[in-house]
């Protein structure tokens, strides 16, 4: 079984982070899998030739002449090059999947006839500040939502579309290079086609924003993706021949985040997780009140995204400050 991984690299990504990504993917358990990886480097990404010295034989580099469509454009370009793959894995340069991630995802897709995308819960790899630990608590909440979606057969939206997909589905789909969040757009197409996303037990780590500014820009873009999804797919989802639980959970996943402050009463459910993230009682309190403040910030980001959409302003992509993990 052949599986190819695609890893888009923006010009701002440091070389050391790409090296760590290569090592992480090369360490994956690929038993019974014919694995290849494609690193797609946008023009201006530094000394691209240096990467050839650290690439394993089954890893490849594709250099684009521009950054058209950013991540979505990079994926579209590589899908036109890859041949013979039954599965496509999508990662970001900061993705750190568990060693069994690929085998778990492929097994799930093999067993579920209607599943076209498989992934796992996320965890934060750069827990170096109160902010990143607050976001780590948010990821634990997301994981509970994923599990609820698996249990109920509802809509599951994996952030970033990090995971493994059936190649036939991706080849029949064009990643929208103009939308704010291609992952939201593609996932809605998955469910409207009668297929589904699958949650596996293996997990994948990724970096959380390390500053309020980075967090703000990232989440405004995410909320913009939700606004676009509601505008584009509401009528189709309403009339689609999909289970009612999918329709309800889809609508909830795209609208509830705009009212994040209303989730504050659920924070006590994560007190044990907050304590586990903390080195002291004072830090636990900072994270606790930080989570509540974070919910208010998310509500603000949602309002900004709606304002941008109404006024036809673009939601600009902004490079994040990276940690060396």
What pLDDT, on the 0 to 100 scale, is given for residue 45? 47
Domain ranges of the chain: 2-310
For 43-94, how does the pLDDT look when each residue is reduced to its tens digit (9 = 90+)?
A: 754 555 566 667 888 898 888 887 777 788 888 888 888 888 999 999 999 9
Closest CA to 184 of 238, 227, 216, 144: 227
> Could you say which DSSP state residue 40 is in?
E
Q: Could you tell me the two tokens for 146?
A: 């994923």
CATH 3.90.550.10 fits 2-310, yes or no: yes
**Half-sphere exposure in the Cβ direction for 320 (13 Å, CA):** 22
List 196's β-bridge partners, or say none.
Answer: 115
What pLDDT, on the 0 to 100 scale, is given for residue 226? 92
What pLDDT, on the 0 to 100 scale, is given for residue 174? 72
User: pTM score > 0.75 for this model?
Assistant: yes
Segment 238-262 mean pLDDT: 93
Q: How far is 84 from 87, CA to CA, in rounded Å?
A: 9
Contact of 220 with 304, CB cutoff 8 Å: yes
What pLDDT, on the 0 to 100 scale, is given for residue 51? 64
What pLDDT, on the 0 to 100 scale, is given for residue 284? 94
For 130-168, how does the pLDDT look when each residue is reduced to its tens digit (9 = 90+)?
A: 999 999 999 999 999 999 999 999 999 988 789 999 999
Query: Tokens 């409207």 map to which residue?
Result: 192
- Residue 20 phi, psi (nearest 5): -65, -35
Determine the Cα angle at 247 with ends 243 and 253, to 5°.
135
Provide CB contacts within 8 A for 101, sequence distance 6+. 28, 120, 200, 202, 203, 204
Of the pLDDT bands very low, low, confident and very high (cuts 50, 70, 90), residue 276 is: very high
What pLDDT, on the 0 to 100 scale, is given for residue 224? 92
What pLDDT, on the 0 to 100 scale, is given for residue 322? 79
Closest CA to 298 of 96, 155, 119, 142: 142
Write the DSSP string, 53-78.
Answer: GT--TTEEEEEESS-TTHHHHHHHHH
Where is 179: in which H helix or E strand? none
Contact of 266 with 231, CB cutoff 8 Å: no
Of residues 175 and 289, the one with the higher pLDDT is: 289
């Amino acid at each position: 079984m052949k599986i190819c991984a695609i890893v888009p690299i923006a010009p701002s990504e440091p070389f050391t982070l790409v090296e760590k990504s290569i090592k992480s993917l090369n360490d994956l358990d690929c038993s019974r899998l014919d694995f290849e990886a494609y690193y797609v480097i946008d023009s201006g990404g530094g000394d691209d030739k240096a990467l050839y010295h650290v690439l394993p034989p089954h890893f490849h580099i594709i250099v684009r002449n521009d950054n058209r469509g950013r991540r979505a454009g990079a994926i579209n370009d590589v899908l036109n090059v890859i041949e013979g793959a039954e599965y496509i894995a999508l990662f970001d340069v900061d993705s750190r999947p568990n060693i069994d991630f690929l085998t778990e995802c492929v097994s799930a897709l093999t067993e579920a006839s209607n599943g076209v995308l498989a992934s796992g819960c996320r965890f934060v790899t750069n827990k170096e500040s109160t902010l990143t630990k607050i976001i780590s608590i948010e990821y634990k909440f997301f994981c509970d939502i994923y599990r609820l979606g698996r249990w109920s057969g509802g809509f599951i939206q994996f952030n970033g579309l990090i995971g493994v997909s059936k190649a036939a589905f991706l080849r029949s789909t064009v990643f929208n290079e103009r939308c704010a969040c291609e992952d939201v757009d593609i996932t809605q197409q998955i469910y409207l086609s009668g297929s589904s996303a699958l949650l596996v037990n293996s997990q994948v780590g990724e970096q959380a924003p390390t500053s309020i500014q980075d967090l703000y820009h990232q989440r405004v873009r995410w909320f913009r993706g939700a606004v676009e999804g509601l505008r584009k797919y509401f009528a189709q989802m309403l009339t689609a021949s999909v289970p009612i639980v999918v329709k309800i959970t889809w609508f909830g996943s795209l609208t509830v985040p705009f009212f994040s402050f209303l989730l504050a009463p659920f924070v006590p459910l994560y007190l044990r997780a907050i304590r586990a993230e903390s080195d002291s009682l004072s830090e636990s309190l900072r994270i606790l009140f930080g989570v509540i403040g974070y919910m208010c910030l998310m509500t603000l980001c949602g309002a900004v995204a709606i304002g941008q959409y109404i006024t036809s302003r673009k939601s600009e992509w902004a490079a994040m400050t990276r940690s060396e993990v």
